[in-house]
Structure 1
Amino acid sequence: MKEKLSLICDRLLSHQQIACCQSFFGIPHHGKDLLIYNILDLQQKPLLLIGHHGVVSAMTFGNAMSPVLLCSASADYIIVWDVQKCQKQTQKEAAIYILSPKTQETLSRLTGHLGPLTSAEFCPWNENVLISTSEDRTFKVWDLNTETVVYQSFVLSAFPLLNVMFLESERFLVVGSADGQVFCYSIGDNHKFSPVTKMDLQKLEKRYKVQRHNMSHEAGNSRSLQQHKGCDVNTVETLAFCKPIFSVTPRLTFILQYLFQRLVNHQLRIKLKLLNLFWLYFAL
């Protein structure tokens, strides 16, 4: 018998989750991440899978030879990974090139995302900080002085992240995904990011339609009642539609207005109709 692979565990072996198949071997890394080793080629760099927020409590490979699927579970998610597809994505190696505005020379090359890049934005109050989004559904914060990642988000959505923007006066970071999810973070000292709010544009659209339908129904009933009493129908209808649907704080109103303008200017793939309804919902 010949030993092919030896690993040092950071927890009791009896509590360590592992998974094996004919081609791959998987083990949790720092609790919530996964390291996948290619048994057929041990010289190959292990594949790092990031997606869980909590400690991985179970993992197993599928029975099929192709594609090789790995199922992992934690308290927050159950994720099914296509191992071979993930390997191909890492081999493509999405890169960010920082160029000199005068000479167009490449100043630095940043790699780390597991999927194609979708956007990048320099921090308005710190020119040495860059934030990028990717189809791997995460955003990364880069320190251009050291060319390293100083913060990386969890997987935020089931769909790719499309754009990132800063609200300089509020020190906020806003990220949007392809399924209409909007995530807002506050930026503190030493690159500390704290979630502020999360909005689902699709749910807001549905809520807006329901509110408009209820208001129209109430206005119709009021018109019928006032016609029966001989009152001025136009006055009643105007008063009915002046009723506020939703109230927001001045800070949130500013965020929504600024976000809407930036999303339209950058022509994101989020449906324009959805955004228009979203803006009307808060403008009433």
Structure 2
Amino acid sequence: MEEPQEVSSRKDGRAGDIVVEKFLVDSMKPASHVQLACSGQSCAFPLDGNELCIWDTEEPPHQLMILKGHRQPITAVTFGSRESPLLVCSASLDCVLVWSLDECRQEELQGRLPRGTVLGTLLGRVLCLRLSPDDRVVAVCAGSRVLMLDLEVWDHRMGSLIYSSSVLTAAPLLSLLVDPRSQQLVAGCTDGQLWIFSLVEGHHYRCVTHVDLRKKRESFSTRRAESKPGTWPEGGQPPSTKAPETGEETEVALPVLSLAACGCAFLSETARCLWIGSSTGLLIFNLSSFELEAVLHYKDFQSLSIQVAGSCAVASRTGGGEALCLLTSMFGNETALVEADPAALLRSQQRPHPGPDLSVLPSSCVLPTSPLYLGLKEKRTKQATQKQSETEILAVVSL
């Protein structure tokens, strides 16, 4: 196994930290706009262009496995749905490969070079990969085509098309997620729009709502600044959409790079939340209220090496709790793994709840030494003078 050019590990995180950078890899080639893979146990990303790097989150960060088989730069990576055996599929211009990580580790321990299984060759530039729930079929998005590649001998043509739509949104789709509990399909676009469709039988896949994440983020920041000022992490300030020199409002897009389930039991037992990974930060979105619960900006944490991400993959750890976020730099060659604590993030951005009103009945008159006593005396004097004037007016009128 060859080690990467430079791998730095950081273990200075403490319990209760909102975000901690676990490790940073410096590659020879950038991996921006590449589909990354992140699960609760492993992460997969391109290294030096055509090498596939696997990092087991349960092992020490310096133990990385490098898989070689692509001649062209890797453009998309995805994990299988089953934990055992855990499969990873990678694609480049020359071929699409599937790897069994257990077999690769065994081959590596015996001193042999791990090899993947070729599923297809010269399919074009693959933008997205996804394995079926049973890990028997790979859906490959290459250009304007979606190809179905068999991992076994299985006739997928016997399946039937459930629903087809020529146009879901005006902007290109970047990420999709199906929430089985709420039976909703969530689609994220390049322009920062979130579209949510109902999969409930009889709803005919209608659009439940359409969310502009930029506007949601602005309203969330405004509410937080008004209710709890001065609590931004590391002395940061609420994000501004004004240009530094002209002061004019600028449009800040939030491309939805990834979507993942977020276990927010500490928020509400019935709340269904999502992690939304974007180029500038992470967002926690509530599928029940269609509102943002928390916003994490990379630039607010100086300890993070990547401030603007070109690619992002998010997954909650096994058993819930912290989430792992794999980032590649938009303008550099770095790849970083970040661990975020949603509970700590939500606590830092909670809006204070107003307490119950308290009413107290006075038990005695105002003391003469009290500042209120003069006001009371003046008020009584004015009332007496007013009554006297009214009496005099009535007397004149009666005459």
TM-score of Structure 1 vs Structure 2, range by shorter chain? 0.3 to 0.5
Q: RCO greater where, 1 or 2, for CA within 8 Å and sep 6 or more?
A: 2
TM-score by length of 1: 0.35
Larger Rg: 2
TM-score by length of 2: 0.27
Question: Could you say which structure has the higher helix fraction?
Answer: 1
